[in-house]
Structure 1
Amino acid sequence: MPATSLPFLVLSRAGFDDIAARVDLGKASLFLNPGLLTETEIARLRERGTVVHVMATTVDPGKAQDVQQALLLTRNEAGGIWVERSAPRSVAAATDQLRPLDTGVVPATPLRRRLAHGAGALASAALARLRTPGRGRRLMVLPYLGFGNTGRVWVKGRLLDEADFREQDSADSGWQNLVALYRRLESDEVAGARVLAHFGGATHATETDGGGYFAFDFVPPAPLAHGWHEVELEFPDSAGPDGGTLRARAGFKVAAPGARFGIISDIDDTVLWTNVTNKLNMALMLARSNHHTRKPFKGVAGFYRALRDGITGNEDNPLFYVSSSPWHLYGPLVDFLKLQDIPLGPLLLRELSVRQVLKIGEHGSHKLEQIERILGFYPELQFVLIGDSGEQDPEIYTEIVRRHPQAVRMIYIRNVNPDPARIDALDGLIAEVSATGVQLVLSPDSVFAAAHAAAEGLIAVDRLAQVRSDKREDDLAPPTKAGL
């Protein structure tokens, strides 16, 4: 009998009954098809100590693609998950070191074998291969949008083996989206490569770390004008497509002198619906959709444009997006913002491996660190903080108020968790924040937040009509393939 700490993917009632007869469910973690058990049965399981996850999307045990996606998103660090025998044998072949549960369930194959079988040998020999730079390799630079002030610049990027990241479109199937997501998560990073940043006649040097990332935080030779600038990146030991030295450019923006405040926004369940409170459902959504088929929360685009423009209409207030999504998704997220006409700004994401993508335990520390970085660049600005109630945004923003009460102008929290216990906790945070003179506003949607922002003098009153119009257009838009 296997260790009951392994998770179980349960697709049918017969499969559940078989597992229940063989293992101690009080020590198990179950991923269930919706409707498989009654609410009463789920409540009793949880009372026994069972960890129960009900998937938002039904997994058809007869469809290999459905089961492959579920396996990708539920497998644990040990590399295995137990699946019903009814799953296709090509998906649930017993090639792991795990032992099957007699006749009830069989273990899943490792992630790279499952995807190689289903997608034509996409995976490589190992999940995390560190590379060293060299002239004989074709490399790819991914520069990220940076930011700065008149006397300081921050830019970041990553160096990878050149990969075939095909552009996605609205016609892509769920399986094609899954393959594209896997390719991004399973990129081959280049460690220990020299990187030079040339700007304003000065040169700064660093090396890529174990994940292939590099960052520069430097003082320019002369004060900078507001607007967009570019840093030239050079990789002296790496060859570009033309055979010469590999080069790239990283853009960064200096905040406008007329900016009255900055905006720091979460992405997951704040701008983009991801169901971040359920990691499996969030990852299923990412796997089955792309930036063409995902949709923002209704009215977000109009609200964020109004915040950027401010009460005068031309303040050019800077926006920053801080998220626990991995840097691997940077490109699709930028494409999403552009496609939805949501104001672009630097994205500060999280360094994650493919095995950690569903583990957001350090969500709070990552966001605090990045928000502190932003505040350090703009000590003269107050900030509007925008997040959701699904995870720790209210707690993180409250901590920022404790540390920097003068730096926060307003907090807007989208209410996505109706649990009474969560609402009670938010009431306590609202009271704590209010005692400092800052408002924490629990908002049902963007129109409500925009109306409040107009009353507080953050946006022009005449922009409310545009936010309402955006929301109506989103209401009337046809549902996407991803069900968003």
Structure 2
Amino acid sequence: MKLRPAIGRWVARADRLNDWRRTRLHHARPRHPLEIVPYLGFGTPQRLQLGGRVLRLVEHRAPQADDLAWRNLVAIYRRMASDEVARARVRASLGGLTVETRADDEGHFQLAIDTGTPLEPGWHAVALELLAPLAPGAAPATACARVLVPPPAARFGVISDLDDTVLWSDVRNRLRMLALLLRSNAYTRKPFEGVSALYRALHRGAAGGEGNPVFYVSSSPWNLYTPLTDFLRLQGLPEGPLMLKDFGDHMLFEPLDHARHKLRCIEQIFGTYPGLRFVLIGDSGEHDPEIYAEVVRAHPQRVLAVYIRSVDPNPARHAAVAQLAEGVRRARVPMLLVPDSLAVARHAADAGWIAPQAVESVRADQREEETAPRVSADAGAEDGRQPPPAQAAT
């Protein structure tokens, strides 16, 4: 008998039993105030897609730039130890339209609203209300979800990974990744040099004001949704939907779940915008090149380019990515293994996807980030990131 799958099944059964116990307790007699945590949604003028999570209310202290490591550790622990409300009933309202849904066993809910009258482009507010369970004496839990309808001027969309693509996480070294996560917050984590200016340029497009939508698809857990959205806002990155993963036993015992999650999310985005092509951005640390190559094979006409940030200095990994890139190029889609954001900006400007002057903005942003103070991941490191390797295959 293979031990790892067996352990995974045992953990999954224990998790389901615990969810069932908590569901009975929450629905029979909620002991604490509850909250709805809405996620940024997306859609079209005719149909909106959104979601969120129902949790036991926990007050979270806002992070500060000078927070000590122990404060960050406590904050992360409180988020990872969230107490979800399984099978909660939620109602969404937009104008005179209402839709009701029920959360899953982890408190997550997803719903769609058919708008009838087409909506204008931009962000739309959808009111959320918790219908059940209700804590005795507590005010009804409400929230506001914001949903993006891209403008007709959008020429393409961007689908980007987060860890080791936008911000340094070192997912290949789990201990270092954990240390960096526990010692930092949205203020002290920094993006890779030039990322903010690059993504703003892609969002604006070559003509400026195109409003090209940006989607962040990551295997980070939903528990980190608020810190990640805070990070994007503080770093001036374009606002866009985050599509994360549930934190549970499958993250430890299903190694292929990372790829399945990303492919499922990309298919959902592609299906929502059938007339839009996309730029895919990831890194060489885990499986982004393989995932994006599979996307190109399935949808060769939907992908403009694939950019892979080089974070793994192993020559064997460079060779593997180069082989994938050769296969992708047969579909007439460039896949570039790049050392930094400036290399992406140059290629995108040459292709006519961003304004030529945006290249200098990325260069300036890169210089500024290189001199900015950074959080240490361990006592022996000077900063919380590693510079990308100088060598890169294209």
> Normalising TM by the smaller chain, what interval?
0.7 to 0.9
User: Is this contact kept in 1: 2:35–2:142, CA < 8 A?
Assistant: no
With normalisation by structure 2, the TM-score equals 0.87
Counterpart of 2:112 in structure 1 is 217
Counterpart of 2:380 in structure 1 is none
1:383-427 alpha-carbon deviations (Å, 9 max, x no partner)? 000000000101111111111111101110001112111111111
Q: Does 1:336 align with 2:231?
A: yes
* Distance change (3 Å), C-alpha of 1:403 and 1:284: same
Counterpart of 1:430 in structure 2 is 325
Please state whether the residue corresponding to 1:405 is helix, strand or coil: coil
1:10-47 alpha-carbon deviations (Å, 9 max, x no partner)? xxxxxxxxxxxxxxxxxxxxxxxxxxxxxxxxxxxxxx
Counterpart of 2:181 in structure 1 is 286
Counterpart of 1:453 in structure 2 is 348
Please state whether the residue corresponding to 1:406 is helix, strand or coil: coil
**Amino acid in the other structure paired with 2:88:** A
1:227: Cα distance to partner?
0.3
Counterpart of 2:164 in structure 1 is 269
* Distance change (3 Å), C-alpha of 1:129 and 1:269: farther
Please state whether the residue corresponding to 2:166 is helix, strand or coil: coil
Greater C-alpha radius of gyration: 1
User: Is this contact kept in 2: 1:127–1:186, CA < 8 A?
Assistant: no
Match of 1:473 among 355, 368, 375: 368
Q: Does 1:198 align with 2:90?
A: no
- More divergent stretch after superposition (379-388 vs 416-425): 416-425
Counterpart of 1:388 in structure 2 is 283
Please state whether the residue corresponding to 1:461 is helix, strand or coil: coil
Counterpart of 1:208 in structure 2 is 103
1:242: Cα distance to partner?
8.2
**Amino acid in the other structure paired with 1:308:** H
Q: How does 1:10-159 map to 2 (within 5 A)?
A: 130-131=22-23, 132-133=26-27, 134=29, 137-159=32-54
Match of 2:72 among 145, 160, 177: 177
1:243: Cα distance to partner?
3.8
Higher relative contact order (CA 8 A, sep 6+): 2
Q: Distance in 2 between matches of 1:77 and 1:274?
A: 29
1:311: Cα distance to partner?
0.4
Number of equivalent positions: 365
Please state whether the residue corresponding to 2:84 is helix, strand or coil: coil
Counterpart of 1:312 in structure 2 is 207
Please state whether the residue corresponding to 1:470 is helix, strand or coil: helix
Ranges in structure 1 where 5+ consecutive residues have no aligned partner: 7-75, 80-125
1:351: Cα distance to partner?
0.8
Please state whether the residue corresponding to 1:314 is helix, strand or coil: coil
Q: Distance in 2 between matches of 1:246 and 1:478?
A: 40
* Distance change (3 Å), C-alpha of 1:128 and 1:194: closer
* Distance change (3 Å), C-alpha of 1:438 and 1:139: same
User: Is this contact kept in 2: 1:405–1:436, CA < 8 A?
Assistant: yes
1:220: Cα distance to partner?
1.5
**Amino acid in the other structure paired with 2:113:** F
1:231: Cα distance to partner?
1.2
1:221-244 alpha-carbon deviations (Å, 9 max, x no partner)? 221111010111111234489844
User: Is this contact kept in 2: 1:233–1:250, CA < 8 A?
Assistant: yes
1:147-173 alpha-carbon deviations (Å, 9 max, x no partner)? 001122110100111112111212222
Aligned identity (percent) is 47
Q: Distance in 2 between matches of 1:312 and 1:291?
A: 32
CA-based RMSD: 2.4
Counterpart of 1:18 in structure 2 is none
**Amino acid in the other structure paired with 2:68:** S
1:183-236 alpha-carbon deviations (Å, 9 max, x no partner)? 101010001211111123222111111111111123222211110101111112
Q: Distance in 1 between matches of 2:206 and 2:310?
A: 26
Q: Distance in 2 between matches of 1:365 and 1:320?
A: 17
Match of 2:266 among 371, 377, 386: 371
**Amino acid in the other structure paired with 1:321:** Y
Ranges in structure 2 where 5+ consecutive residues have no aligned partner: 12-17, 378-382, 385-394
**Moved segments of 4+, more than 6 Å:** 76-79, 126-129
User: Is this contact kept in 2: 1:136–1:239, CA < 8 A?
Assistant: no
User: Is this contact kept in 2: 1:309–1:459, CA < 8 A?
Assistant: yes
User: Is this contact kept in 2: 1:383–1:407, CA < 8 A?
Assistant: yes
Q: Does 1:323 align with 2:215?
A: no
Q: Distance in 2 between matches of 1:444 and 1:406?
A: 26
Q: Distance in 1 between matches of 2:32 and 2:107?
A: 15
1:246: Cα distance to partner?
2.0
Counterpart of 2:392 in structure 1 is none
Match of 2:142 among 220, 242, 247: 247
1:328-371 alpha-carbon deviations (Å, 9 max, x no partner)? 00000000011111111000000113894797541100000001
User: Is this contact kept in 1: 2:189–2:374, CA < 8 A?
Assistant: no
1:313: Cα distance to partner?
1.0
* Distance change (3 Å), C-alpha of 1:358 and 1:272: farther
